[in-house]
Amino acid sequence: MKKIAIIIFVLLCSCNKEKLKETPKEIRKEIPETALYFTQIKSNDVKLGKPGYGDWLSSHKEKGQTFEQYFFSKHIIPTKKENIIYIRPIGNFNSLQKKQIELLNEYLAIFFQLKTKTLKSISNDVVPNSARRMMFGHEQLLAGYLLDDVLKKEKPVNRIALMGLSELDLYPKPEWNYVFGLASYRDKVGVSSIYRLQDGELTSENFNLCLSRLLKISSHEIGHMFGLHHCINADCVMNGSNSMSETDKHSIRLCSVCQQKLSSCIKYDDRKRLTDLENYFKRNNLTPQFLAMKKDTEAVSTKKNI
């Protein structure tokens, strides 16, 4: 009997689940006070309900990650030498797919408030026949080969993270049907596929749905590269997912705690990021996503508490 296809990213380097050790009081004072911004947008956090059958949290007993745990964890921080997110397309992309890559580049630059660059597409020929196969009438590439033998060897200037993007389906090992992608958070490198995000074929009719999936999955995986664990408290783009339907159900928004984590790492202007996201979603007719950002904008626009 064939194994059920695993349709979540397989991790080469699992998230650090160590409990935060007791920290001396003088060190604890270094933890920044929660800014008014995060207190205000917390009102828009939607608490997760009880997981249903097949949902991520029904099969993964995760403990989550507090802001304090994140603050004292070892995670990458942008520097003058490491401050650019790169996207490496792999394969032959049509015009609609190229448009999605352009929009992904723009989105990641806004989401992380870091320069993001799309490298020149490389051919599928970089993968030898020994790391390719035909499955259900279409070609698949071995995700591990792309990760270890192609992407890990690339050292673009000032790279802080690198995400490969394949137009062909991926598989992790012979006995599995497929995966969306594979990542090594230790090496800050990942590879994902757009093949299954497109529901067979990318068209003008499903363009926005497929784009929202791509934005969610890419920001989620790169979020892990910056040390964010799965969120278990609120509806959040950092929620774990067992299926495409579960991914579709989750919000594209970072909850208030996960926003505070990322902000403490990258040290951007939170209100500027929020405005940039709101404008991006409005400009690209992503209405549910725009409305989520608008609610946060309204929350932080209220009169400050005295």
> Can you give the three-state secondary structure of 52-118, one letter per residue?
CCCCHHHHCCCCCCCHHHHHHCCCCCCCCCCCEEEEEEECCCCHHHHHHHHHHHHHHHHHHCCEEEE
The catalytic position among 26, 68, 201, 221 is 221
53-61's contacts with Cβ under 8 Å and 24+ in sequence apart are: 54/242, 54/243, 54/246, 55/242, 55/246, 56/8, 56/230, 56/239, 56/240, 56/241, 56/242, 56/246, 57/232, 57/240, 59/242, 60/230, 60/240
Active site residue 221: yes
Amino acid letter, residue 280 = Y
* C-beta of residue 212 within 8 angstroms of C-beta of residue 244: no
Q: Which residues are catalytic?
A: 221
